Structure 1
Amino acid sequence: MFKRLMIGMLLLVTAATQAQDLDRLLNLRGYWKFSIGDHKEWAGVEYDDSDWEEIYVPRRWEREGFNGYDGYAWYRTTFSGDELEKEGAHYLRLGYIDDVDEVFFNGVKIGFSGGFPPDYYTAWNAKREYRIPNELLNYDGENLIAVRIFDKGGEGGIYSGEVGLLVADAAYNEMYSLEGLWKISRRDRDEFADVDYDDSRWEDIVVPSNWKTIGMRNYKGFAWYRKEFEMPSGGKETEFTLIGGYIDDFDEIFVNGVKIGETNDGRRIGRSRSFSELRIYDIPEGVLKPGKNTVAVRVEDIGDNGGIYRGPVTIIPSRIVTKFTREFRFWR
């Protein structure tokens, strides 16, 4: 039980952290642009923040001249695409943030932790690390990071930990990371596995993370996850495996409406070990298509924390699964 509770406390741990070494590509500690208040356009690349204050990151904003301030604030910084590696998988590490955050890269939301009002819940003690989708990276110009924060009380801001851009060696050219934003519903319907189901009104959740990150505390039962991703045409690989990370407690996973695997040892809480098993399911040949594809995951939690709580969550050529999982187990 103690091990189970400790695992449930790992809110945001990415596959790259566990499966392989991450090299620090760019140190982002230093002075960022900063403004109190809250406006959606502040996430945008075109917004002019030249008249904003500057604040040191990481450091509590009270210690940077904003003593006693509680509420919304934004941070912005830019860096040159010359720093990026075209063959790498990039991650943004933001240390610890008090209390709630949303993170935008070149104007697109790539992750969040905690809950903004009116459904407020803090994530002050969760490490922030978000995968940056390759399609958002500007290799030939400037890249923008914008962070929206809400602090309810006490000290606030990006207050401690490593802040920087990291890169994982892209040893696997046809590996498709599924980490990042997914859709989630607390209902349980068979139609949620269908490739054409409209999940646009579902809530967002970051994968991997547990249900606490979206305020689902003490929730037991079923929830569905869905994510759409792109596969380019012209790839050489024909056989793929989905690595579904660690799921608390039981799961069924569907790719383009086809069930590819499940894990359920049928035991009760305290005896079940399904939460500690890495999900590795082969995808039948022909199920994946060039263009848009959909993954749907039915999760059942029988107690404590729930969800797809730890990576790696990825689709990988079947021929290198053994190598990948061996490296993963070494680095975890």
Structure 2
Amino acid sequence: MITQKFLPFSYIFDKVKVPFFIVLTGAVAFETLPLILGYRLPEIPINIATTLGIAISILLSFKIGQSYDRWWEARKIWGAIVNDSRSLVLQLQLYLEAENPVIRQMAYRQIAWCYALTRSLREQEPMVDLDGLLPADELDGLRRHKNVPLGILGLQTASAKQLSGSELLDNFSRLQIDETLVRLTASMGKCERIKNTVFPTNYRKGLHLAIYLFSIFLILSVPLQLSIVLEIVIVVVLSMIFFYLEKAAYLLQDPFENLPTDTAMTAISRTIDINLRQLLGETELPPKVQPEDFYLM
């Protein structure tokens, strides 16, 4: 998640460097070849570039809106995960005796679930952060799972069922815990839906082509008869604005790709870790995740 209002120029340029050099090369070629070869390129009315620029602006506005909706939905899902994680431990503390070891066991499983889900969505090894949170036999069983977060929820469900079977939970209490586990499962499914739903690639390719055509029409437009250097600068700057906005929307549409524009799942998971440990009465807490340069993961 981007945490600064102003991004480093190196980061911005890195996102548009390929189209920058393509547009710059094309603009220089269109301006210098007529001088070298001794003929004039056909002049195009400025209305064509203007109309195409308006169309690109509309398409970009739509794409940015759709991308932000996906990013914001991901952030809302993780907000719900924070609430349900806290609720699960509070419910266990309410319905069980304070000395019952299952409270700590299920709380640590919930912490492990958040870390595992974070790494799973980013296509990283989900078992990395689980040592010390789960016993060895549970870790061995989870290594055989293709979906580790789902396996952890299965362990939580089994513990809830065991509590109910031993009559430590009445039917009402079990129902409340079951509903919390169902909401956590639903949140995981929503994240997986966003992760696995691909934004149409043809849309992006068409938009790229339109921006390249815009730069060509702009440099050939009749009213844009300025000095060669000034024309090149204007064409490159206007084109790069469009390209950067398109790239920003592209990065925002996938909030689980281990990029600076990601939903800050690591930081959120660490917050859940700290909160649940405090509810258990622990005093040795892990540190909060700090921003890396201009973003928070």
Same fold flag (TM > 0.5) = no
TM-score of the superposition, structure 2-length normalised?
A: 0.21
Indicate the structure with greater strand content: 1
Indicate the structure with greater helix content: 2
